[in-house]
Amino acid sequence: MTADLNVPILSSPGSVLSPNRVRLALAALMLGGFAIGCTEFVAMGLLPNIAADLLPGLYAHSPAAANASTGWMITAYAAGVVVGAPTIAALAASWPRKRLLLTLLCAFVVGTLASAALPSVGWVICARFAAGLPHGAYFGIATLVAGSLLGPSKRGRGIAIVISGLSVANIVGVPVITWLGQIAGWRVAYLVVAALFAATFVAVWWAVPWQPGDAGATARRELAAFGRGQVWFTIATVTFGFGGFFAVYSYVAPMATDVSGLPAGAVPFVLMTFGIGMTLGNIIGGRLVDWSVRRTLYIFFPALIVSFVLFALTARYPVGLFGGFFLIAMTASVLSPVMQARLMDTAHESKAIAASLNHSAFNISNSLGAMAGGYVIATGQGYIAPIWVGAGLTVIGLILAVLSFGLDRRWIRRGIHVPYATGAISTVDV
């Protein structure tokens, strides 16, 4: 966290936070992102282990089919995020922000413990859905809190700090927990994740200042975001633009072992490489939000498409596997805070739901990517096929982004007021 903290920060009228207190609060919020990254992504590295345990008969007959079936855990979690993010954000927008964060963290603990304890694949899938419900609302409220601590001129950095927990999780948390799950069992891995959420609860309770909710927020005002066409354009851009990322990431373990011929013990190192790419991309994206949302999308969506193509051509070689995963993770993660900024701009005054909707969109993308990747694998097309699926989905995302910004420009030429095109950040984007 390199933000300038040399000036007093107001957490509420009449109170001033020291720079050290701000750093601690941001670290607590980032720890929540770290725990969420672990609960969301650890299934990717342990997918064969989970499939072998929950579907032993099918796994003995066809590991690929068992992996594809168990991949519904990933889809279910994503569906939970999609449902939970707008619902919780709309209904609880007026809650004090710290109280809402603590409630969401309790829900994470319960859902993750259920994931570790339930006996069958069907029940585990239900638990993963429940565990996904608080995901988007947590990130939405946490980014609003981070933004209030840093000030409006550092919006992109505030978003990046919270999201960076996801990236760090993929460098440290996911590889280590994956390794532990391979040794001690995948259920132990989820118990560790539940402990991380409990630790985050304590950190947020201790370090994050009390902030009131938006007194004027109502479910009707928040849900008004769904009446704006550009919000739907942005959701669709995220859904397709990042679907390819998840089509590849969902099957990282079998790609490493079956395509590149690496031992299962190499999977945590592949995940670590992925996490390093995500961290670097998130840092770059947080800076580029304050430069130009439009130009960043126009540069990095094509870069992501090129990354998929290079990966598909070289994935059979260990160097290509590691390099391809790194490039895909980095380019996709540059786009993550940029798309969140775009969605918050287009949603206007619906602040809470806008901050949460990005994670709904990402997890629609997660669900789409996991299903599309699982389909081509289950139909016998192999583990390279999801990479080509990913490239195609990203092309659709780029087209949607171009159409969305084109609509902005058309409105401006016709003299139609575009509220989000009046700030220092957004004027360069239209």
Task: Indicate the pLDDT class of residue 263, thresholds 50, 70 and 90.
Answer: confident
Which pTM does this prediction carry? 0.71
Q: Give dist(CA 350, CA 271) in Å, integer.
A: 36
Whole-angstrom distance between the N-terminal and C-terminal Cα of the chain?
30
Q: Give dist(CA 31, CA 29) in Å, integer.
A: 5
For the ranges 179-193, 211-225, 285-299, 412-426, the one whose mean pLDDT is highest: 179-193
Is the pLDDT assigned to residue 298 strictly greater than 50? yes
Average pLDDT of the residues in 178-199:
94
- DSSP letter string, 144-207: HHHHHHH-GGGHHHHHHHHHHHHHHIIIIIHHHHHHHHHHH-HHHHHHHHHHHHHHHHHHHHHH
Residue 98 parent element (H or E): helix 97-117
Average pLDDT of the residues in 315-336:
90
Token pair of 176, please?
Answer: 């280590």
Domains in the chain, start-ordered, CATH in brackets? 15-429 (1.20.1250.20)
pLDDT the model gives residue 395: 94
Token pair of 58, please?
Answer: 């099918």
Please give the residue that has the higher pLDDT: either 420 or 424: 420
For the ranges 90-94, 148-152, 283-287, 423-427, the one whose mean pLDDT is highest: 283-287
127-158 pLDDT per residue, tens: 999 999 999 889 888 888 887 777 665 666 76
Residue 61 parent element (H or E): helix 56-61
Is the pLDDT assigned to residue 422 strictly greater than 50? no
Q: Three-state DSSP class for 18? A: coil
pLDDT the model gives residue 7: 40
Average pLDDT of the residues in 94-99:
85
Could you tell me the CA-to-CA distances from 355 to 146, 315, 351 in Å, in that order? 12, 36, 6
Token pair of 328, please?
Answer: 């895909």
Of 278, 213, 270, 273, the closest CA to residue 242 belongs to 278
Half-sphere exposure of 114 (CA within 13 A, CB side): 18
Question: Exposed (0-12), middle (13-18) or buried (19+): which is 328, by Cβ within 10 Å?
Answer: buried
pLDDT the model gives residue 20: 81
Is the pLDDT assigned to residue 177 strictly greater than 90? yes
50-70 pLDDT per residue, tens: 888 888 888 788 887 887 778
Instruction: Report the percentage of the chain scoring pLDDT > 70.
Output: 85
Is the pLDDT assigned to residue 89 strictly greater than 70? yes
pLDDT the model gives residue 418: 58
State the residue for tokens 């370090």: 207
